[in-house]
């Protein structure tokens, strides 16, 4: 019998594995290839995994915070002014809430006897008022009319204007300078390149090349700006700024001018003996000249900057009543809320099912909000009372008597978690006899003293600052000497801690504090 390959496996590109299987089958079956199905598609050895979608159930445990609990935490963490904003939002969103009015109707508090007594008192006051009017009329005829107080008050009100920026101040002077044409246009362009400190941030050579303006015209415009107020404006750097101010003071040939012009780096490092040697003067003369230079303004444009002062409203006040310290909450800034009686009556009147469900949910949300605000105030009060209990010496004597305290200690006494204390004191301020402090200020670490007590790091910083303030400026304390002096006071800290606290207080090292 003639052997042959089926057409399906004899073409180009046939898998060699399938060809090998055919040859084995051919040899074993003596040429009987009728059992082979040439039209059967080949099955790959490594079939692709079957893709399918399955549904299954699983049991998981997950912790989430309910929306009402999130609102309660938000109320606790919000400062007073932010809390007012949140309450106003709730008043708009929840119609069942309303703010309690402090006004009381006369019908609710007066009786007939009280009315008669009031009318009698009112008649006496009216008679006194008429007598006072007659006296004032006689006084006006005897003396000329004076409205100085009213005029001063009106002048103060008229003087309250929007603050002027540095660029506006310079442009106003430019408009009054009498210059016009190209010089005025170029000067206005340069004014736009002056930063908030009053320094010119543009390179004149680059501007001349980029804008095609004469370099001499740019220099003339810069000189014009430097003649404006404030003195020192339009300088390229600190050295140029100080030299302009000295020239305006008529000290072009003074010792101060020579120091700034040639020895500004040595002056910054207080190398007075080296400067004195180079200029052939005494260190005392250099010290006096440095004091004059220190009166110059290194940032003449800064007084036109925006006011970055932050105004806060204390959440509570610590004050002494008799012989006892008490905590007084500032509840005046927090709106007093209640559930509207009209919606309570609407619930009782048997409204529709959907309306009753809507009102019920809103009333429930309103009650929870009121409860959250009361709980916030109670928590802050409890924490403040514990702070007062632990920091009695601070309130009586000041910062130097602040004791170490952490949030875990207060949380244990108040009966809340440590994170709750952290949220409660965040952004809250306390008014004390020694100033307004953030409540976080009272939580600080400390050190052990020689007598077995504890002192906070804030008190250590205060002791360090007092020590440096009373030192001999000709022989200032080094960090090692400060460490030894504090050790004499019973405060044991390392020299590197002294250096860290000194830098935190922005106090210079000893060689920079020395005077000659």
- Output the CA–CA distances (angstroms, integers) from residue 183 to 78, 177, 205, in the order listed: 55, 11, 17
pLDDT band at 22 (very low <50, low <70, confident <90, very high): very low
pLDDT at 134 over 70: no
Through-space distance between the first and last CA atoms of the chain, rounded to whole angstroms: 124
- Residues 126 and 62: their CA atoms lie apart, in Å, by 74
Look at the alpha carbons of 24, 26, 29, 30 in this order and tell me if their dihedral is positive or negative: negative
More confident: 132 or 462: 462
pLDDT at 57 over 90: no
Q: Prior bond to 230 cis, omega within 30? A: yes
- Output the CA–CA distances (angstroms, integers) from residue 437 to 166, 170, 312, 390, 455, in the order listed: 34, 39, 10, 16, 19
pLDDT at 18 over 80: no
The values of phi and psi at residue 264, to 5°, are: -65, -35
* Confidence (pLDDT) at 492: 84
pLDDT band at 7 (very low <50, low <70, confident <90, very high): very low
Dihedral-angle region of residue 221 (phi above 0 means left; psi in -120 to 50 means alpha; beta otherwise): alpha
* Confidence (pLDDT) at 384: 92
Q: Which of 9-23, 49-63, 108-122, 321-335 has the lowest mean pLDDT?
A: 9-23
* Confidence (pLDDT) at 312: 80
- What is the mean predicted confidence (pLDDT) over 101-110? 44
Q: 131-140, 355-364, 376-385: which has the highest mean pLDDT?
A: 376-385
pLDDT at 142 over 60: no
Q: Which of 87-91, 181-185, 307-311, 329-333 has the lowest mean pLDDT?
A: 307-311
DSSP 474-497: TSPPPHHHHHHHHHHTTB---HHH
pLDDT digits (tens, 9 = 90+) for 393-447: 888 888 878 888 888 889 999 888 888 888 889 888 999 998 899 999 888 887 7
Q: Which residues contact 71 (CB under 8 A, 6 or more apart)?
A: 368, 369, 372
Give the residue from 438, 302, 341 showing the smallest Cα distance to 383: 438
pLDDT band at 241 (very low <50, low <70, confident <90, very high): very high
pLDDT digits (tens, 9 = 90+) for 433-452: 988 999 998 888 877 666 66
Q: Which residues contact 451 (CB under 8 A, 6 or more apart)?
A: 490
pLDDT band at 382 (very low <50, low <70, confident <90, very high): very high
pLDDT at 207 over 50: yes
* Confidence (pLDDT) at 48: 57
- What is the mean predicted confidence (pLDDT) over 225-238? 90
pLDDT at 124 over 50: yes
Please state, for a pLDDT cut of 90, what percent of the chain lies above it: 10
* Confidence (pLDDT) at 491: 82
* Confidence (pLDDT) at 495: 87
Q: Where are the beta strands (DSSP E) in 242-341?
A: 316-321, 324-329, 337-339
Q: Which residues contact 420 (CB under 8 A, 6 or more apart)?
A: 76, 379, 411
Q: Which of 132-141, 247-256, 285-294 has the lowest mean pLDDT?
A: 132-141
pLDDT at 106 over 50: no
pLDDT at 6 over 50: no
Are the C-beta atoms of 186 and 224 separated by less than 8 Å?
Answer: no
More confident: 48 or 347: 347
pLDDT at 110 over 90: no
Average pLDDT of the chain, as a whole number? 77
Are the C-beta atoms of 457 and 445 separated by less than 8 Å?
Answer: yes
pLDDT band at 145 (very low <50, low <70, confident <90, very high): very low
Burial tier of 366 (Cβ tally within 10 Å: 0-12, 13-18, 19+): buried
- Residues 479 and 509: their CA atoms lie apart, in Å, by 8
Residues in the chain: 516
* Confidence (pLDDT) at 164: 81
DSSP 64-122: ---HHHHHHHHHHHS-HHHHHHHHHHHHHH-TTEEEPP----HHHH--HHHHHHHHHHH
**Residues 321-350 as b or e (16 or more Cβ within 10 Å = b):** eeeebebeebeeebbebebbeebeeeeeee
Q: Which residues contact 501 (CB under 8 A, 6 or more apart)?
A: 457, 460, 461, 464
- What is the mean predicted confidence (pLDDT) over 314-320? 89
pLDDT digits (tens, 9 = 90+) for 456-495: 778 888 888 888 888 888 888 888 888 888 888 888 888 8
* Confidence (pLDDT) at 105: 39
Burial tier of 171 (Cβ tally within 10 Å: 0-12, 13-18, 19+): middle
More confident: 113 or 230: 230
- Residues 329 and 462: their CA atoms lie apart, in Å, by 29
């Amino acid at each position: 019998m003639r052997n042959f390959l089926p057409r399906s496996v004899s073409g180009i590109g046939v898998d060699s594995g399938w060809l090998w299987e055919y040859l084995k089958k051919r040899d074993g079956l003596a040429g009987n290839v009728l059992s082979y199905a040439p039209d059967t598609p080949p099955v790959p050895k490594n079939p692709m995994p079957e893709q399918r979608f399955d549904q299954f159930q699983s049991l998981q445990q997950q912790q989430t915070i309910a929306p009402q609990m999130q609102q309660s935490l938000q109320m606790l963490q919000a400062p007073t002014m932010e809390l007012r904003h949140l309450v106003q939002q709730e008043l708009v969103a929840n119609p069942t809430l309303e703010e309690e009015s402090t006004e009381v109707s006369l019908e609710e508090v007066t009786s007939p006897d009280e009315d008669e007594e009031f009318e009698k008192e009112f008649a006496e006051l009216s008679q006194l008022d008429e007598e006072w009017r007659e006296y004032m009329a006689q006084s006006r005829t005897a003396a000329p009319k004076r409205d100085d107080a009213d005029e001063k008050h009106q002048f103060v009100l008229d003087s309250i204007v929007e603050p002027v920026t540095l660029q506006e101040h310079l442009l106003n002077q430019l408009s009054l300078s009498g210059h016009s044409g190209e010089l005025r246009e170029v000067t206005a362009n340069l004014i736009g390149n002056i930063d908030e400190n009053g320094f010119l941030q543009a390179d004149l050579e680059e501007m001349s090349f980029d804008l095609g303006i004469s370099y001499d015209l740019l220099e003339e415009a810069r000189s014009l700006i430097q003649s404006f107020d404030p003195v020192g404006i339009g300088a390229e750097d600190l050295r140029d700024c100080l030299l302009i101010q000295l020239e305006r003071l008529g000290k072009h040939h003074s010792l101060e001018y020579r120091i700034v012009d040639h020895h500004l780096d040595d002056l910054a490092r207080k190398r007075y003996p080296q400067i004195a040697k180079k200029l052939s003067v005494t260190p005392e003369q250099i010290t006096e000249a440095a004091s004059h230079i220190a009166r110059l303004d290194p940032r003449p444009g800064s007084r036109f900057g925006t006011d970055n002062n932050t105004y806060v409203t204390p959440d509570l006040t610590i004050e002494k009543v008799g012989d006892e310290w008490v905590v007084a909450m500032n509840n005046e800034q927090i709106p007093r809320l209640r559930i509207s009686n009209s919606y309570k009556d609407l619930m009782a009147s048997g409204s529709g099912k959907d309306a009753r469900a809507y009102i019920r949910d809103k009333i429930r949300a309103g009650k929870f909000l009121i409860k959250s605000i009361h709980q916030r105030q109670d928590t802050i009060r409890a924490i403040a009372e514990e702070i007062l209990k632990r920091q009695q010496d601070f309130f009586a004597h000041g910062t130097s008597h602040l004791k170490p305290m952490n949030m875990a200690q207060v949380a244990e006494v108040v009966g809340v978690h440590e994170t709750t204390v952290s949220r409660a004191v965040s952004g809250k301020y306390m008014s004390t006899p020694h100033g307004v402090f953030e409540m976080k200020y009272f939580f600080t670490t400390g050190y052990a003293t020689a007598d077995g007590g504890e002192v906070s790091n804030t008190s250590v910083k205060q002791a360090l600052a007092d020590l440096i303030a009373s030192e001999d400026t000709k022989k200032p304390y080094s960090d090692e000497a400060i460490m030894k002096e504090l050790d004499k006071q019973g405060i044991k800290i390392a020299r590197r801690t002294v250096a860290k606290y000194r830098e935190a207080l922005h106090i210079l090292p000893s060689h920079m504090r020395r005077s000659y």
